[in-house]
Amino acid sequence: MALKFSIVTLFSFILSLAVIYKAQSVTIDIKKFGAQNGDITQAFTNAWKEACAATSNVKIVIPKGTYKMSGVEVKGPCKAPIEIQVDGTIQAPADPSQLKGAEQWVTIGYVSHFTLSGHGIFDGQGATAWKQNKCGSNKSCARRAMNLGFNFLNHSVVRDITSKDSKYFHVNVLACNNFTFDGFKVSAPHDSANTDGIHIGRSNNVKILNTKIATGDDCVSLGDGNTRLVVKNVECGPGHGISVGSLGLYDNEDNIDDFLVKNVTIKNADNGVRIKSWPSTPVSITVTNMRFEDITMVNVANPIIIDQEYCPWNECSKKSPSKVKISKVYFKNIKGTSATKEGVILLCSKSVPCQGVELSDINLTYKGAPTVAVCANVSPKISGKAPTCTAAKSIF
């Protein structure tokens, strides 16, 4: 009897906890703020204002349906965690000039414990912008908006959402701490210009997990000043692979330390895993503790590449070697098919040769035959099966 009583007490205690918990979390349907002709620009900003002022958890829901939205920028600090659940498709203006030179179409900044969730789509409608956006060859090209910008966020999550056809990079992560992408998707055609999947800069502890990226440029690219980043269980392709850099172009750049890429498939890509820096670097920085393991390449042009004379369109001066010092780089259990004979290219700087580079169990084939490794200013440690270096024409 006493036992039965205490079980009943326990149950009602748990039930009341659940009721309290539920009462503390508020859901706001974006439609509450109106959607004139399906445009939710103003509604989005108003919903954020209400959510940001709330003293308990708030979830903003954008239900199934198709909406239009122009540029929005929302910021904290907010009083309590906010979740935005997108189940619908939100379309950016197709005409790039309507975003008035904004860096991003949707920018979220300066909040902690933010979640973006749902099976909805941010559709950048980038086709018009890509045609006008030859920013590689045309230095005076107009800047285009990225789909999503996350600036100065702590302890935040992006779950399940899709970023589609961005005009420029899909996602920019700047100065965030403890930020996780899980089940995220990026989609754009292979020939869409400059549509990097996720670019990360000046951040700490960012994880990209269970994510599928198909796009026209790097799937994931790291800028300077990053520490503790993980890319795991990711499919990349088409695209330009996973890239550290390019580094060493500007004089205020910071080091990169601790990057793990594990269980990744890279398909039909220009590059697989790559570290790149410009020559004639204005400052000395370091890139260290890079680990690339359990990676499958399918028809990748440069599956493994360190390129310290990165200089597209001959835009740079090759007066002096790169001062970006690369060390402790492990390439382990990387297999599959290369689209060129040179499966491994390690072109390190003459002034600061790479140190502690290891090639372990590398099995890359080109037309059925093993690929070769071409190296300069580096003596990689070989373990298991891996190609031994032949000397590249010295890069400087």
Ligand X SMILES: *[C@@H]1O[C@H](CO)[C@@H](O)[C@H](O)[C@H]1NC(C)=O
| Residues at the contact surface with ligand X, assessed by CB under 6 A | 76-77, 110-113, 132, 134, 138, 140-142, 154-155, 157, 177-178, 233, 235, 263, 265, 335, 363, 365, 385
Q: What whole-number distance in Å separates Cα of residue 268 and Cα of residue 47?
A: 42
In angstroms, give the least distance from the CB of 396 to ligand X: 32
Please give the DSSP secondary-structure letter assigned to residue 202. S
Structure tokens at 379: 């003596």
**Rounded (10°) CA dihedral 238, 242, 248, 251:** 100
Burial 315-337 (b: 16+ CB within 10 A, else e): ebeeeebbbbbbebbbbbbbebb
Which of left, alpha, beta for 328 (phi over 0: left; psi -120 to 50: alpha)?
Answer: left
Closer residue to ligand X, CB minimum distance, 39 or 358: 358
Please give the DSSP secondary-structure letter assigned to residue 160. S
In this structure, the strands spanning 355-366 and 369-370 are antiparallel
Q: What is the C-alpha R_g of the chain?
A: 24
Catalytic: which of 113, 155, 199, 240? 240
Q: What whole-number distance in Å separates Cα of residue 252 and Cα of residue 281?
A: 11
Structure tokens at 234: 């990711």
In angstroms, give the least distance from the CB of 385 to ligand X: 5
In angstroms, give the least distance from the CB of 28 to ligand X: 20
Instruction: Specify whether the CB–CB gap between 51 and 58 falls below 8 A.
Output: yes
- Distance, CA of 2 to chain centre: 57
In angstroms, give the least distance from the CB of 132 to ligand X: 6
Distances in Å between the alpha carbon of 29 and those of 34, 246, 374?
10, 42, 57
In angstroms, give the least distance from the CB of 248 to ligand X: 26
Instruction: Specify whether the CB–CB gap between 337 and 363 falls below 8 A.
Output: no
Q: What whole-number distance in Å separates Cα of residue 285 and Cα of residue 288?
A: 10
What are the φ/ψ torsions at residue 356 (nearest 5 degrees)? 65, 40
Active site residue 190: no
Closer residue to ligand X, CB minimum distance, 167 or 276: 167
In angstroms, give the least distance from the CB of 361 to ligand X: 8
- Which residues are designated catalytic? 240
